[in-house]
Amino acid sequence: MSVKPPVWKKGDTIGIAAPAGPIKREELVRGIKIVESLGVHVKLGRHVHDKYGYLAGTDAERAADLNDMFHDDEIKGIICARGGYGSGRIVELLDYEVIRQKPKVLLGYSDITYLHTAIRQRTGLITFHGPMVASDMGESDFAKLSYDLLQQFFIPQEIVYTTAISRLEVIVHGKASGPLVGGNLSLVTSTLGTPDEIDTKGKLLLLEDVDEQPYRIDSMLNQLKQAGKLRQAAGVVIGDFTNCDAKDPETSLSFDQVLVDYFADLNVPIMKGFCIGHCNPNITIPLGTEATMDTETKTLRVQAGVSA
């Protein structure tokens, strides 16, 4: 059973945590201004500025910040500072009972995919795939559409993605409905064989990634295929694959060829071209709510992820 977190209100306090990689201070400062312009206050996790190699603090410190924010009644929502690496290292340290008892908006993507999957499958909480404070909002060209869609945290609204946002291409025709799950391909694949192995049965599977060569995408899609995750899905939503073209086209399959190899013979609707992922704009969508993809109208409709 899915659980929708409550809406935000003007004047609420929103927590910023860094559950993965370390942040750059100047980018965080710029991103905080974007968050505050929504009419909310910001409270930083105690370890947001920490650095432990390629991590924003030790596993215990990063998990503590998330646990504290879910436990803190003053904090009404949590936005991740950035992705990078490390979310999967803290899933066993999270207090899922508190998360279950005090549902809140959790916003992030990329490496945060592991948290989305673990939290949703262990507690039922709807979480949100979308821009982060330092890595997106901290950029000088943060898109207006990305900003406008953050209003969905204040007023429950269905997200309707059409070709007015970006060019969409059909790989397999059809129409399907189901809870929307997934996120970053690398992280989705890394859940296989773990207690948080992604469940795709009857669901729309979202996939996106960045800086991966076609042979790497091929390898990960093959692993998902062999694990049965592709054939179990009701449909596949292909988000942005930034900088994933072959470095040497003469000795490589193209990104599009890899997609055709794995998806063309699946008897479920599949569309590509969604600005969801490492892109600008980066469309915020709830994960875990019911969604419908229709290739005839080239639309993806995702039910509201918060409750009034």
Reduced to 3 states (helix: H, G, I; strand: E, B; else coil), residue 268 is: coil
Length of the chain: 308
Residues (pLDDT < 50) of the chain are none
pLDDT (0 to 100) of residue 250: 81
pLDDT (0 to 100) of residue 247: 84
Residues forming the active site: 110, 208, 278
* Residue 104: both structure tokens together: 């809140």
Between CA 219 and CA 226, with CA 222 as vertex, the angle to 5 degrees is 140
Q: Which of 214, 223, 153 is nearest to 188 (CA)?
A: 223
**CA trace torsion 64, 70, 74, 79 (10° rounding):** 90
Mark out the alpha helices in the chain (DSSP H runs): 25-36, 59-71, 96-101, 113-123, 144-148, 185-190, 214-226, 229-232, 255-263
Task: Give the phi and the psi of residue 136 in degrees, each rounded to 5.
Answer: -125, -60
Q: What percent of the chain is helix, strand and coil (3-state, nearest 5)?
A: 30, 25, 45
- pTM for the complete prediction? 0.97
pLDDT (0 to 100) of residue 47: 98
Between CA 85 and CA 214, with CA 18 as vertex, the angle to 5 degrees is 30
Q: Could you give the CA distance from residue 271 to residue 169 in angstroms, rounded to a whole number? A: 6
- Domains of the chain and any CATH numbers: 13-140 (3.40.50.10740), 159-302 (3.50.30.60)
